Amino acid sequence: MSAPTVGVLALQGDTREHLAALREAGAEAVTVRRLVELERVDALVIPGGESTTMSHLLRELDLLEPLRARLADGMPAYGSCAGMILLASEIADAGVPGREALPLGGIDMTVRRNAFGRQVDSFEDDIDFNGLDGSIHAVFIRAPWVERVGADVEVLARAAGHPVAVRQGRMLATAFHPEVTGDRRVHRLFVESLR
């Protein structure tokens, strides 16, 4: 089988790092900034960044509703940090009305933005991750956490007692940034789910 084509939403955030991680994990990785690019991919990665800015750009570029529709139709997606926030069905503390983070509804969960604190509260930790051999070194940067998961959502990892990695079908989300560590196991887990 040929390598799946995985897009990285390239509006803001860790685009280059995710492209490199996906290629190392065996995917054909491309950037997605326009509708025609979104229509060509088998799956999508939504990187870290700033969830309200990414929501604004999705609206401005007329990608918000097409992306919601692709996710509703079953397109697999992986979101890290801000990507986790956007993949949620509900966002606690979404921001100022008119400039708030907008949920895409990919995973039945409620996510709280910046739950671990501000930039100065960012941290790294080794955490257990179901489905991976051994622990994973997790980098949390102004990270969210999951406050509620639906019945079909599997919690894969926790930090400080809160879910920080979840999966629902072929949707995956992490509150941390595996793309910055050189450990490609999370990206491989996602790419393997596409085969």
From the annotation, which residues make up the binding site for L-glutamine? Answer: 49-51, 113, 141-142
Q: Which residues are catalytic?
A: 81, 177, 179
CB within 8 A of 150, min separation 6: which ones?
89, 107, 108, 109, 168
Do residues 48 and 177 touch, judged by C-beta distance below 8 A? yes
Burial of 2 (0-12, 13-18, 19+ CB in 10 A): exposed
CA distances from 12 to 44, 49, 54, 58 (A): 14, 6, 7, 11
Burial of 180 (0-12, 13-18, 19+ CB in 10 A): middle
Q: Which two tokens stand for residue 119?
A: 């930039």
Query: Which is it for strands 88-92 and 107-112: parallel, antiparallel or unpaired?
Result: parallel
Annotated binding site: 49-51, 113, 141-142
Q: How crowded is residue 31: how many other Cβ atoms within 10 Å of its Cβ?
A: 16
